Structures are given as C-alpha cells and as structure tokens.
Structure 1
Amino acid sequence: MRLQRNRRITPVRLATASAALALILSACGDDGDDESTDDAAQQAAGDDDGDDSDPEEVELRFSWWGSDSRHEETQEIIDLFEEEHPHISIVPDFTDWGSYWDRLATSTAGGDAPDIMTQEERYMTDYALRDQLLDLNEVSDVLDLSEIDELALGGGEIDGGLYAVATGVNAFTVVANTQVFDDAGVDLPDDTAWTWDDFYDIVGEIAENSDAYGLQPEGSNEAGLKVYARQRGEALYDADGSFGFSPQTLAGFWQGLLDAVEAGHAPDATEVMEFEGPDTSLVATDDGAMGFWWTNQLGALDGVAEGELELLRMPGEFEHQQPGMYLKPAMFYSISSQTEHPEEAAMFVDFLLNDVRAAEIMLTDRGLPANLRVRDEISTLLPETEKQVSDFMAEIAPDLADPPPPPPHGAGEIPDILTRIWEEVLFEQVSPDDGAQQFIDEGSAAIGG
C-alpha cells in the first residue's frame, strides 16, 4: 500500500545565476526547517562574505538500486534539491540489485565512481578499505548527523572513520498471520516472554490443528543466524572480522528448522525451494502461520495476505544472555573519495537525510528514516502497514542490544555460501553438524578469518 501524493512539478529554473543565489539567500528567512541545508549551500557557493559572483556549476552522479517506484520517487527528490540549488545537477545512475554491484565495481575500478553511491553493509567495508569512500567526518561542517538514530549511526564506522550513513533502519522479525492462528484456535504468543521451545511448540500446534503449516523454514538468511548467535553471547562476526559463533550454535539453529520439517509442521525441502520472495510466502498466501522477515517487507506481505499480519519479536529475546535483535541500516549513503565536489555531495546527502520533504516522498522505502525528527514528522503520512512498522520499531527499541560491527572484507560471499550449505542440510545431503563446520571453514576462507 502506498500513500497517494501530489507530484511536484519542477519549475523552470531561474534565468540567471544571480537570481539563483538570491533564492538560496532568501531561503534563510524561512521558518528554519531547512536551515542546515541552506547554510551548507551558502558555504559551498562561497557566499558567506556577501560575494555575489555566480556559483560554480557542479554535476554529481548518484547511484542506487531498486524498483521502478523507488526510481521515480528518487527523481522527485532530485528535482526538489535542484530547484533549491540550481547550480548543482544530480545525474541519476540506477539499476536493479543484481546488476548494481557489478556496475559499481567496474566504474570504481575504472576511476569513474559515482560521486554519491548507495552502499550495503556486506560490501561497504571492501570499498572503505580500498580507500574508495570519503571519511564523512571531513565534511561534517556540511553534513549534519546530529539527529541520526545512534543505534544506526555506528553501522558506517570502520577503523575509526565514518564512511557511510544509514538511510533508514529495519529489524529482522517474526511475521504472524492472525487468520491462520484463529483458524487453528491458537492464541498469538507473548513475544516479550516466548522462548525458542515455545516457538516450535506453537509451530506444531498450528500444523496439527489446521490445514496450514506452522512455519516457513529459512536457514539461509544470515540475519536469523546473527540474532540466534547474539542471544547466546556470540556474534556472526567479531570486531576483528572473524566469525564469532561456534559450529554448535549454527547446527542448533538449523536443527530446530529441520525438526519442524521432519514433523510435517513445515513444508519439505522441495516445497521450500519453490518460494520466491514475500509474494509467494506461506504467510502471504495464508498457508502458514509464521515466517522470518524484515520489517520493511511487511507491506509486500500484507498486499497479498487476506489475514491480518502481526509483527512479533524473535523468540528467545529474553531467554539467554542478551537480546539478539538490533536495528539494521536498510542501506547506506556514501561519498566517493575521488569526487571533485565533496561539499556539494555532502549537501545532497544532508538533503536526503534531513529534509522532511524528501522523506515525505520516500517514506519508508529505504527503511524507517534514520533521522529521528524526520521519522516523527512523517508518521502521520504513513500507510497503515508502514505505521504498524513504525510503532513496532518504537516499541522494541528500548530492548535492543547494540548493533553489530560492520561485516568484514569478503562478507559479500557469505550469503551464497550459507545458502548452498543450508540447502544441502535441508535435503539431508549433509548433517547440521557437518554443514555448520563446512560453513565456518569456507566462510573463514572468504573473509580471511
């Protein structure tokens, strides 16, 4: 579901650069909502001392991945930024997820990196360690991060520098289909107290009292393993970049899922391989009670499901040493270390993060906004499912553990390794114990651990 908004029509740009400068200066007399952006504009244009010379024409390239709707919304934001800064042109550079990383790697290696790029946590460290990202502390006079959620801000810190800032935040959760629970005569659990044993008991109770499955088993998403390990005082990655969990922990995580499959409480291996994203999932088709999903996927699930969907904490959050859930940056904005215009690039990132008008266009497509003020100001505009996500995130935030460190160099290979070995475990080609050790061996080689 999406909120219908009136499209902004980009006005014809001002005829002269001096008129453009006057527009920037006059904006300082507004109500203060865009004060930081306007100040940055004045600094970058060099007009603090009253110099009325034409500002330098600047062209910046901004890269991102995503759906057609994200591309359209991002272009609206670019148009809005260019209206206020006519001397800066933002060239869009977008593609789908599958093509994005090859394109970014090629352009960066060829010395033609986008000035502003969208990053993901598994690849960000690789780019930072190759000196391809700007330390954002160098543009702190332009880029205001004072209102960014502290639980998300640390996700962009690597070796003492800040190389990326979160666009927004998500959490990995259990999504429950309340219609399936009702049909089975089972009450929703108290997610502030349930354990992993409780979770699998409910999975079985659902399956034995209805025509639906209790669970869609998912053992290849590293987020689930990360939460499970953190609850036990371990981690997917330690601060030094090596694996921080035991093979027994991974084997135990997989064993619970396999037990549900073997008992008929979850679909078998062949059925599991047929699921392709939220649209075809058991929760979305009302054929299953629960599944593991990111909070920003609730809208896609809800758009298909007939039953009402409920977000729940992961089981075991208060069972062991600490909570395992955390706020994960949905994605990041970074600036190329090779950009010829770092201040203007920082102005645009500041606009993306801190201008409420940009957030009114994007809403939660890049995660629940990382800027706490902006998050609050757009709350009344959110469609029902996104409002549900916002309320859930506010509810769980006080109970969350500190976010994990950024993944190490080579972490981009881990999802493929984990998926391949999980499928071998699921099809009983290898035991959970042997598969866990195989994953640690192969994964350690990939990350140099």
Structure 2
Amino acid sequence: MSVDVELNNLEDALKTRLNGKITKQTVTRLTPPGENFCSLILKVDLDTEENGKKETVHTVVKLLPLQEKFKEMFRSCMKNEIQWYSKIIPLFKEFQEECGFEETSDFFPEMYGGRLSLDSQKTEPDDDSILVLENLIVDGYKNEDRYIGFDLKTSKNILRRLATFHMGFIAMKLKKPELFEKEVKTYLEEMKPPPPPKDGGDPFPNPNEYILKAIGENPECSPLISKLEVVLQHDFFKTVPEIVEPWATVSHSDFWVNNIMVKYEGDDVKIKFVDFQMCRYRSFAFDLIFFLLTSVQTPIQKQYFDELIRYYYFEFVKNLKLFKVDLSLSYEEYLEELKTAASFEVHHSIFFSTIIFGTKNAEYDYSTDVNFDPGNHMLSMVKSMPPNQKEKMAVMTLLAAKRGWLD
C-alpha cells in the first residue's frame, strides 16, 4: 500500500550508509493498517548508483505521527530512539566486550541513519526528523501472530536475551555510573500524556466497566472481580512507579509480540528487539510480566508460566556472573520484585489486550488520519471486544491471581 508522505533529503540522513546517489525511492507501508497505533512506519526501498555500480538498499523509516496533537507526545520519543540506535546500543556492545563477552548481543537492528531536523542547529525533533533502520523482513525476520503469541522454545530464547539486556544495563549503572547517567538514563523519560479533548475530560475514557463485565463472564474469574476492580483503579498512564535499587534498569516498556522479530533457522531462532521509543528506568520485572501476560501462547501460559518465570531468573543470575556484578538476588526476593511490578503490569496487560486483538488488515488507517481520536477509538474497541480477547483477559486474571498479584 503506497503512502503519500514526502521524505526530504534522505541522502543526507543516510550519508554513512549509501554508496552513490539515490536514483529511485519506493515508499509503501511496512505493516498493514492497525499494526502501529500512532507512529508512522514505512518501507522504503532505495535504488542507488555510483560509477555504474547499482545497489538496492532496503530500509524501514520511522517518522513522527501525522496528527498534530500527538507530535508533542512523540517528539521526545523520536529523540530518545535516535540516541538509542546511534549511541546507547554501541555503548552496550562495547561494555560487553570490556566485561569479557566473546560475542556481543545481536538482538538489535542496524541503524542506517537518522536526524532530528534538516537544520543541524536544532536540538529537538521537528517534522523532518527521521530514523532509518535496516529492513529485517528482507533478511527473513518476521513478527509472530499477535493473536497467538510465542511458543515455549521461542519464549525462552527471548527471555534469555531479555535477561542479558536488563543485567547489562544494571552492570553499566554500577560500574560506569557517570557514563550511564549521561548517555543512557538521560534518555529514559516517562512519555508525555496525550492532550485532553477540546471539550475537556480524559483523553482516554475509562473502559473498566466493560473490561470487568467481560472478565466476569468467566465463572472462574467472577469471584476475583472485586480484587481486579481495585487493580484496575491504578492509573498506569499517570503514575510513575517508585524506583527501588539496585534492580532498576533500562525497561523497554513496550515488550510484546509486535516489537520482537524472529527468524527461524532449523533448530535455531534469532531474535531482534525493535521500537525503543518508550524506554524507561524501572525494575526488570515490568518488561518480564508484560511479556509473559501478553505475548506467550495461551496453552503455554497455562502449563509453563512458572517454568518461564524460573527460566528468566536463572538467566538473570547467570548474567550477574557474566557481567561480574557483585550482587545477589534470592528467588524469594525475585518473586517479590515481580509482585511489586505486577501492581502496574496486570492492569497494563489487560488494557493492552484491546490492541493485541484489534482488527487485522483494517480498512481504517488511523496512523494516517490527522483527526484520529485514540481514546474514543479504544473505547469503541473495548465495547465490541472479540471472544479471543475475553478469553485472554480471563487467562491473565487467573495467572495473576494464582501468584498473588491481585492481593
């Protein structure tokens, strides 16, 4: 699907990657409508030529939202994500080498270029800001079906890499505090809330009435509704969790199926983490719980949820030693860390199920609609939620209740 978007001076943004001049650029959507809630993400193929040698460079281009009211929300996100790919990821790999890793982590896409503005004097993103990455799809990577999620083997592969990601930044924070504070933590900002509607009120109308009713339809969940109602009163959009050291680290903060790409090669699976625009400084447990509740296949959740919790713990502790960190974390302390984070992430996951089970290949493309109202759109989706979303929310509730996360 073609997109009517003007990409100004791409050659300047890609000057370290391109060989020659761009002779043709083909711009289409990277994903079908409905897969990206606000960001505009494009597939851009560039034909280049230099001294008779031709090359096609396959890229993914990320832009600020088209909607004016969301641009202010996402300006800091764009700035932070450009920092991530241009500076923080190279620092992470360099730090791994210093800690004696034989191979550095390969779960990040390659950055081809980026800029905050065509005006080099500007320090904040404007309408010409752009982030250009390699197109992983061309290399055989894909997103799994968000309606289904990951199987047991792939989930463990993801958790192994996630533990390295989390512990690596904890180690950097402890061993190189000035570097971490200046080059990493500065770019871990809480996302600005969306602007209120013109007529006042909340930009996201409260959907809890409909969520509780849907979950209560499940006989196993109905006795838990009073506890769940208290959990859902917690506003994870507006409340910043208390930071408890030493386990605060870089949290991806949007770690679910659509932001994890996989490539299967025989018995091996390669993993790439994408979309670092919402990274924050908080406990490792936030990413872990959100992933386990939103992105693992339902049958696997029912049978292997505790095994996956244990698996991450052992990988996390193993990385304590690999990064030579002089800390210890007992399994009981680890479970308590999860319980604290769950007070936010159970609500987050249940609310987010509306996005997970949103219509695929939707006719309505809200990423290009300048009048898009996400709050009312989300509320209408909740009111008409499909049976598979109701089932997943019930499973989330039961998983949380069994582990005391609703208490």
TM-score, normalising length: structure 1: 0.27
Q: Looking at both structures, which has the greater relative contact order when contacts are Cα pairs under 8 Å and sequence separation is at least 6?
A: 1
Between structure 1 and structure 2, the one with the greater Rg is 1
TM-score, normalising length: structure 2: 0.29
